[in-house]
């Protein structure tokens, strides 16, 4: 098996790793291996459509149906023909 060294790890990250390892009954090294294994086992193939990728990512969490407000008639476009607009 290969070994790696992670330098310049933030103290807060190390503390969170230590707490997570203790919670799971593992050493910090075992916990780091488990995190890497889990993170790298997920394959994520982008569809090339960001909106579709986001929808697919959050679909398992369920959706929210929003009530759309009714639309009124379109406003008249502004009139830029006055003297204050001519230069």
In a domain, 63, yes or no: no
Number of domains into which the chain is organized: 1
Taking only the tens place, the pLDDT of each residue in 14-26 is: 999 999 999 999 9
In a domain, 19, yes or no: yes
DSSP secondary structure letters along 4-58: ----S--HHHHHHHHHHHHHTT--HHHHHHHHHHHHHH------S-HHHHHHHHH
In a domain, 38, yes or no: yes
The whole-model pTM stands at 0.51
In a domain, 24, yes or no: yes
Taking only the tens place, the pLDDT of each residue in 24-41 is: 999 999 999 999 998 888
> What are φ and ψ of residue 68, in 5° steps?
-85, 135
Range of the domain at 35: 9-55
In a domain, 46, yes or no: yes
Q: What is the mean pLDDT of the chain?
A: 89
């Amino acid at each position: 098996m290969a070994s790696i060294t992670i330098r310049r790890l933030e103290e807060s990250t190390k503390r969170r790793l230590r707490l997570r390892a203790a919670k799971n009954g593992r050493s910090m090294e075992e916990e780091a291996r488990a995190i890497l294994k889990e993170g790298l086992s997920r394959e994520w193939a982008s569809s090339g459509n960001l909106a579709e990728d986001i929808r697919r990512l959050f679909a398992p969490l369920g959706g929210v149906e929003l009530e759309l407000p009714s639309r009124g008639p379109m406003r008249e476009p502004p009139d830029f023909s006055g003297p204050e607009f001519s230069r």
